[in-house]
Amino acid sequence: MEKGLITQDDWIRLKAEEERRIFEQTPEMQMAGNPRWYERIRIGGYTQFRYSAGPSDGKMSIPLSDKAATTQPRELYFRRIRLVFQGQISERLAFFLQGAFEGEQDKQDMFNKEIIDAYGDYYLTKDKVHRLRFGLQRTLNSFDTLRSSTNRQELDRHESIQSGAPGERDLGISYFWSPKIAQERFAQLAAYHNGPGDYGVFGVTVYNGQGRNKPEKNGDKHVGVRLAYPFELPNGRLLETGVMAYRGMFSVAGAESPTNTTTAANCYDALNAQGACDVNDERITAYFWTPPQPWGILAEGMIGRGPKRNPLNNTIEESSLRGGYVQGYYTLRYSDVGQLTPYVRFGEYYGGFKSISGAADGQSRTWNFGLVWEPDTHWRFVTELMLKNGLNETLVRNQVQDQFDASLLRFQAQFFFN
């Protein structure tokens, strides 16, 4: 176009046709076109193999994600071993099934396997604008908890957003609305820029609320909503922005009755029938993301209320929470498939960890400095230095939690089989 070979209108038309072909050639569309059922199912997965040099302070912890990095320093370990079965069985039905085979590394248990995704999508319309999802699925908490570790280059999600959805998933029912242009852009962001995929321009989910593969401990259901949109600027840059919110009642484990005089965490009120402490759990998260083209920015911020232990009286109370992070990164492509991506992330969190026994205070400030090398589409190597000032989650009666200011160096080799 710059040399006058085609007009601007022709360039726009050709670009639109190219994007349409990309969308129509997604794996889901290819599978739907196959006549035999077994040709409409695809198998894939990935493995993350890590080494931790160990924290500079033994009190340092990463309790919501890579716990083995601090509890088993200077060891080789698997962070994730995942196997995925997915398929577009018909125009109306798609399914996704994912198993985790890494076990609980911090407990040196390689035999604790679990299903972490098991859902079916029912397309209410053939154009897939309206759909329902049933089963074990990601909840509407934040951008980064919707994004699979297949696509996330950083070694951990930030605690400010991970704390809202530990394990990222729960049993629930969802409705998603995605206009055709949004479907195409979500697919483009996922295929070329490690985006989370299509969770709707508008979405709503009703789910148990206790977390992935955790039993329901109260009759209350969490409700999450999402409003987001993928934009394409006149210069071709893609960006996605949106807001998500949820509300429900969370049952904190590890609490005793208010009259107990020996425990480190007492409920503010009587325990429920399951022996847990029910506390209001709500938050709202806004995000902005423009992927590396070649530079990129990802930022999320959240506020809300949730359970947190008060060290002055050892009581689990409803407390305010806030936090977020901002990340900048730059991708250098040195060949048709090879690329290098350095990144820097800073984040803060002020609130409790509802999923940890006793709802420990999770206050922290974190810096992450990383370098990602992807020599081809099947390998990803990451080196990351974490600097973290925070509180250890161990609770002792009538005492504040131990504070640490430490660093941690980790390495990861990740390979994909799909």
**Which tens digit of pLDDT belongs to each residue from 186-242?**
999 998 899 999 999 999 999 999 999 999 999 899 999 999 999 999 999 999 999
The pLDDT value recorded for residue 17 is 59
C-alpha span between 349 and 208 (Å, rounded)? 25
- When pLDDT is cut at 50, 70 and 90, the band that residue 36 belongs to is confident
Q: How far is CA 413 from the centre of its chain?
A: 20
- When pLDDT is cut at 50, 70 and 90, the band that residue 11 belongs to is low
The pLDDT value recorded for residue 139 is 98
Cross-strand partners of 230: 240
Query: Above pLDDT 90, what percent of the chain?
Result: 81
The pLDDT value recorded for residue 243 is 99
* Residue 283 near residue 224, CB atoms below 8 Å: no
The pLDDT value recorded for residue 224 is 99
Calculate mean pLDDT across residues 262-269. 91
Among 210-214, 222-226, 281-285, 361-365, the least confident range: 210-214
* Residue 205 near residue 172, CB atoms below 8 Å: yes
Instruction: Tell me the pLDDT of the chain averaged across its residues.
Output: 91
The pLDDT value recorded for residue 14 is 53
Cross-strand partners of 53: none
* Residue 190 near residue 158, CB atoms below 8 Å: no
Query: Does residue 39 carry a pLDDT above 70?
Result: yes
Query: Does residue 8 carry a pLDDT above 70?
Result: no
Calculate mean pLDDT across residues 64-75. 92
- When pLDDT is cut at 50, 70 and 90, the band that residue 28 belongs to is low
Query: Could you tell me the sign of the dihedral formed by the alpha carbons of 156, 161, 166, 169, in that order?
Result: negative
The pLDDT value recorded for residue 410 is 98
Query: Does residue 31 carry a pLDDT above 90?
Result: no
Calculate mean pLDDT across residues 371-393. 97
Query: Does residue 30 carry a pLDDT above 70?
Result: no
Among 36-40, 52-56, 80-84, 361-365, the least confident range: 36-40
The first and second tokens of residue 338, run together, are 């090879």
Query: Does residue 106 carry a pLDDT above 60?
Result: no
Query: Does residue 344 carry a pLDDT above 80?
Result: yes
**Which tens digit of pLDDT belongs to each residue from 139-181?**
999 999 999 999 999 999 999 999 999 999 999 999 999 999 9
User: Which domains are delineated in the chain?
Assistant: 8-416 (2.40.160.10)
C-alpha span between 417 and 302 (Å, rounded)? 35
